[in-house]
Amino acid sequence: MRPLLHPSIDDVTLEGILHALADPVRAAIYAELAARDGAATCSAFVNVIDREIPKSTLSQHFRALREAGLIRSERAGVEMRNQTRCKELEQRFPGLIPSIMKAYLVEAGEKSRSAKRKTAKKSAG
Amino acid sequence: MRPLLHPSIDDVTLEGILHALADPVRAAIYAELAARDGAATCSAFVNVIDREIPKSTLSQHFRALREAGLIRSERAGVEMRNQTRCKELEQRFPGLIPSIMKAYLVEAGEKSRSAKRKTAKKSAG
DNA sequence: TTCCGTAGTTCGTAAGTTACGAACTATAGA
DNA sequence: TCTATAGTTCGTAACTTACGAACTACGGAA
């Protein structure tokens, strides 16, 4: 098992960040992590989107976020504790992550509204 | 030749934007287009990065930017005029594009500084 | 009109990337 | 030492991307 790789903040690239967050599963994981105070395990995200994510896939997503410099992971017993590197990232690219998260929430809001409309239609029809 | 496809601004997704701008060639094209006042042709970007980009590849990059909703393209005689959709995008995801461009310029600044250091070393050595 | 040149698109394919199940490693606790 | 839990790695099939060759679209000259 190769050791966890965390790039130094100076080696974090815009390209890497955008690529990592361009995936909807990773964006959901990051948004959820950012919304929490502390750290969270990987397996807490098995249902972060509508369908269940296989754990090998989830593991790859965490690796992608980690190697892009978005999160920091450390082993704690049998599980893994993950947290965002938001302070460092804010220093490196001021305003970037907050504006992406804001856009993420704009979209999440639209989705939940359109879901509600569908539910309303169903119960009306 | 299929007609140019421009998504309605409401159909523009964060995922699409991040994916489009996660490519360094497309980010460079977009940044360059955003820095200009008016529109520019595709072929103006053959050398937007250090090496020359084949025109078929360039064409695909423009399509990607267009279909992500980042630019608007229209035929003008034999060439194509491209411009950003920055005002619409600003309405849809306030602050998103400016903060990505800001981060892009942070990195571009770092690169030019490290290139200068190399040049200085060379002429000193 | 026909021919030619320029600008850009499409297609085929080779190379690269991603997703996921099966098999594995690491750790805690009985 | 055995078992259970959490996560990783590997192999492979599916998907995506890059680029050359061949094409389309248009303008201008003859």
**d(CA A75, C1' C10) / Å:** 50
pTM: 0.94
Q: What is the DSSP string of chain A?
A: -PPP----GGG--HHHHHHHHTSHHHHHHHHHHHHSSS-B-SGGGTTSSSSPPPHHHHHHHHHHHHHTTSEEEEEETTEEEEEE-HHHHHHHSTTHHHHHHHHHHHHHHHHHHHHHHHHHHHHH-
Q: Which amino acid is at B111?
A: K
Query: Are the Cβ atoms of B21 and A18 closer than 8 angstroms?
Result: yes
**Which pLDDT does position A17 carry in this prediction?**
98
Cα–Cα dist B46/B54, whole Å = 7
B93 touches B104 (CB < 8 A) = no
- Judged by a CB distance cut-off of 8 A, whether residue B118 touches chain A is no
Please give the residue of chain A at the shortest CA–CA distance from B93: A103
Measured between beta carbons, which residues in chain B are less than 8 angstroms from residue A49? none
3-state helix, strand, coil in chain A (%, to 5): 60, 10, 30
**The two three-digit tokens of residue B31, written as one number:** 């940044």
Q: What positions of strand D are covered by protein, i.e. any atom < 7 Å from a CB?
A: 4-10, 17-22, 24-27
**The two three-digit tokens of residue A11, written as one number:** 């080696």
Q: Strand C within 7 Å of which CB atoms in B 50-79?
A: 55-56, 58-60, 62-63, 73, 78-79
**Which pLDDT does position B3 carry in this prediction?**
83
**d(CA B112, C1' C17) / Å:** 30
**Which pLDDT does position B116 carry in this prediction?**
77
**Which residue in A8, A9, A14, A105 has the most chain B C-beta atoms within 10 A of its own C-beta, making it the best mutation to test that interface?**
A14
**Which pLDDT does position A125 carry in this prediction?**
56
Count contacts between A and B (CB, < 8 Å).
Answer: 69
Cα–Cα dist A116/B10, whole Å = 18
**Which pLDDT does position A118 carry in this prediction?**
73
**Which pLDDT does position A104 carry in this prediction?**
98
Digits of tens for pLDDT over chain A (125 positions)?
878 999 999 999 999 999 999 999 999 999 999 999 889 999 999 999 999 999 999 999 999 999 999 999 999 999 999 999 999 999 999 999 999 999 999 999 998 888 877 777 666 65
Residues of chain B with pLDDT under 50: none
